[in-house]
Chain A
Amino acid sequence: MSVFVHKHSKVIIQGFTGQHATFHAEESMKNGTTVVGGVTPGKGGQEHLGLPVFDTVHQAVEKTGADVSGIFVPPPFAADAIMEALEAGVGVVVVIADGIPVQDMVRVKRYAADKNAIIIGPNTPGIITPDACKVGIMPSHIYTPGRIGVVSRSGTLNYEAVQQMSELGMGQTTSVGIGGDPVNGTDFVTVLSAFEDDPETEAVIMIGEIGGPQEVDAARWAKENMSKPVVGFVAGVSAPPGRRMGHAGAIISGEADTANAKMDLMEELGVHVVRNPALIGETARRVFS
């Protein structure tokens, strides 16, 4: 098994005919993903990559039975695209865009409250269940099927951890990028909970960064609710307070926000904390063997 996306997932791409969307849709298909079509308003009825293009997500879902959407529209239009997917009944919505206004996401989350859907992102490389379903922009060749769940805020640091795992012969059930924005669709707790319920996942690597309480909240939740071990790392030990480190969400605004404060608390709560980012894979191997 896996979490959120699997080999039976039917994926549509919003913003399908755009250059990036096209490239990454093809990459996903090469990795075994079932892409069933896409949406570009005004281009309904056309064909793209041999698949149908629809004007609305509603039509796409009705005709293809899609249950996952990858959103590749630019930030100013992304919030509307997410709500369109939610309204059409899509169960997993993956939002790649980096730079969605925060207040747009505040409204999206309110809209999503009664929709029973999972929003992955925004500002994420996406989600991948290796060789079964990939919705996003990550380099699929570094991922291999396996027994470890990976969840991270950062994209490239997710790649870094996965590469370290691969070199030691460990693969992934699913790798989820929850994104670097302060208001995002899915938090660590939701993903940890899914990994706990997934019979194939044996352990989880959680990669956080400075800013916000969610890594510690997740560790607290894991202590109460998880039987599987969690390895944790928080990036930004050397980051100065008050400065936004690239990601809109990565800013130290109080003492509890620093990487060390978070890692100390996570350790107290039973997470296997890695202090050296080069040793994420090593630590995972030690904990899981």
Chain B
Amino acid sequence: MNIHEYQTKELLRGYGVAVPDGRVTHNVDNAVAIAEDLGGERGVVKAQIHAGGRGKGGGVKVAESLDEVRQFTDEMIGMQLVTPQTGEEGRLVQRVLVEQACDIKKEYYLGLVIDRATQRITVIASASGGMNIEEVAKTDPDRVIREAVDPAIGLAGFQCRKIAAKIGLRGQQISEAAKLMQALYKCFREKDALLAEINPLAELGDGKLMALDAKMSFDSNAMYRRPTITELRDFDEEDSKEVEATGHGLNYIALDGNVGCIVNGAGLAMATMDSISFHGGKPANFLDVGGGASPEKVGNAFRIVLQDPNVKIILVNIFAGINRCDWIAEGLVQAMRDQDISVPIVVRLAGTNVEKGAPILEASGFPFIMADNLDDASTKVMASLEASA
């Protein structure tokens, strides 16, 4: 689960991390009032969407006057901001963060992740701030410092000082950076984060350190115990079909092809998409109905997949372990009765109660295209698409 930059900064400010003065608004007059309030003529206007790379699409601008604050805010609010992470349709900007502009001397990178290699929370730091850290790791790996944290000890002071010294901080900055890292770690632990990134961490003209941009994402599996983070969720930033699917206990991700997929299990769902691609087709979605798929759940899966107007055919691939093929079959028949489904449906059933599932589909009289295995299913999908083209 992701949150906005302004929310991350408020959260971190509460832990004692230095962030620029600023406030969020969805209104132009307010933006000017905030800039005035902050006292300076110069201000930064930052579009608040979850995707990164905002600067490249015109979503981050330094205003030299209150007029410019007004102008930039007016331009940003309501725009479809396109960044390298949003896709070409962009993301609607509903609010901007207006901040005091800072006098930046140097930029660093500081992040916390759960590193798969060490299976621990790991600090990542670099003297190359303001850039994509994955790029730095590729082109200049020596400039990326990593330090894994022992969960029984926590992030120790000496580790922080070591990291600070390695990225070239000096004097007072070393203890300042150590304090900042420990605050970030505390927040990461207490809020069940998966990622916390300060990029850039700026060294200001007076030598002080400040988090100019900050991003955090959280473990959705732990949000049951983090109500204050759950409140920060912004549904406008998420695909409405994906939100609806989650509500029904389904895992759905929209893609850009035309073959709708309804599968059980994340691995098999991916392999089904891969099989379609292998046969020259393009999946329209990832959809995992999960374990214990009731007829009702199958019906909801159809509704969600068919909301995508690009879907020309649906492939249902079920390998029942904890599921039961007869329930899935009943769900399929029910969906055909209840919903206006005009696209062809290819069905492959295997596993628990498969011998009861197939006769239910047959007896229904609906024109399901039955497949024996994964390869057969993808072949039939492609043949059907070709026949109707």
Contacts and interface: CB of A to CB of B under 8 A. Distances in A.
B321 A76 contact: no
A180 B267 CA distance: 8
Given A159-B351, A254-B134, A102 B267 contact: no
Interface string A232-243: 010111111011
Contacts of B282: 238
Contacts of A210: 270
Q: Which residue of A137, A207, A276, A277 has the most chain B CB atoms within 10 A of its CB atom?
A: A277
Given A100-B221, A153-B267, A183 B116 contact: yes
B373 interface: yes
B5 interface: no
Interface residues of B, number: 54
Contact of B268 (A76, A160, A250): A160
Interface stretch (B272-280, B304-312, B328-336): B272-280
A246 B152 CA distance: 30
Interface in B92-145: 114, 116-117, 119-121, 134
Contacts of B266: 154, 180, 209, 245-247, 250
Given A245-B286, A254-B134, A152 B267 contact: yes
Nearest to B376: A278
Nearest to B257: A238
Given A157-B265, A157-B267, A139 B321 contact: yes
A250 B266 CA distance: 9
A109 B251 CA distance: 28
A107 interface: yes
A125 interface: yes
A137 B321 contact: yes
B contacts with A: majority SS: mixed
A279 B275 CA distance: 10
B264 interface: yes
Interface string A158-180: 11100110000000000000001
A259 B286 contact: no
Contacts of B116: 182-183, 211-214, 249
A279 B352 CA distance: 22
Contacts of B64: none
A204 B188 CA distance: 39
A275 interface: yes
B233 interface: no
Interface string B194-235: 100000000000000000000000010110110000000000
B322 interface: yes
B189 interface: yes
Contacts of B277: 237-238
B221 A99 contact: yes
A192 to B, nearest CB: 17
B270 A236 contact: yes
Given A245-B269, A246-B286, A125 B321 contact: yes
Contacts of A139: 320-321, 351-352
A22 B351 CA distance: 21
A185 to B, nearest CB: 10
Interface string B351-386: 110000000000000000000011100100000000
Interface string A60-72: 0000000000000
Nearest to B224: A76
A238 B224 contact: no
A121 interface: no
Given A155-B265, A239-B286, A103 B222 contact: yes
A142 B351 contact: yes
Contacts of A277: 271-272, 274-275, 278, 374
B352 to A, nearest CB: 5
Interface residues of A, number: 62
B275 A278 contact: yes
A242 B61 CA distance: 26
A254 B135 CA distance: 10
B240 interface: no
Nearest to B193: A103
A245 B283 CA distance: 14
Interface in A243-289: 243, 245-250, 253-254, 259, 275-279
Interface string A185-208: 000000000000000000000010
Contacts of A152: 267
Nearest to A154: B267
A245 B253 contact: yes
Contact of B321 (A138, A212, A239): A138
B39 interface: no
Contacts of B271: 154, 157, 160, 233, 235, 277
A101 B114 CA distance: 12
Q: Which residue of B120, B221, B267, B269 has the most chain A CB atoms within 10 A of its CB atom?
A: B267
Interface string B313-347: 00000011110000000000000000000000000
Contact of A243 (B121, B253, B264): B253
Contacts of B169: none
Contacts of A254: 134
A142 to B, nearest CB: 7
16 contacts: A75-B221, A101-B219, A102-B222, A107-B151, A110-B150, A159-B319, A160-B268, A160-B319, A160-B374, A235-B270, A237-B273, A238-B255, A250-B267, A253-B134, A276-B278, A277-B278
Given A102-B222, A137-B321, 17 more contacts: A76-B224, A106-B121, A107-B152, A109-B119, A139-B320, A139-B351, A142-B351, A154-B266, A157-B270, A182-B114, A235-B267, A236-B273, A237-B274, A238-B282, A246-B269, A253-B134, A276-B275
Which 3 residue pairs spanning A and B have beta carbons closest together?
A154-B267, A246-B266, A156-B265
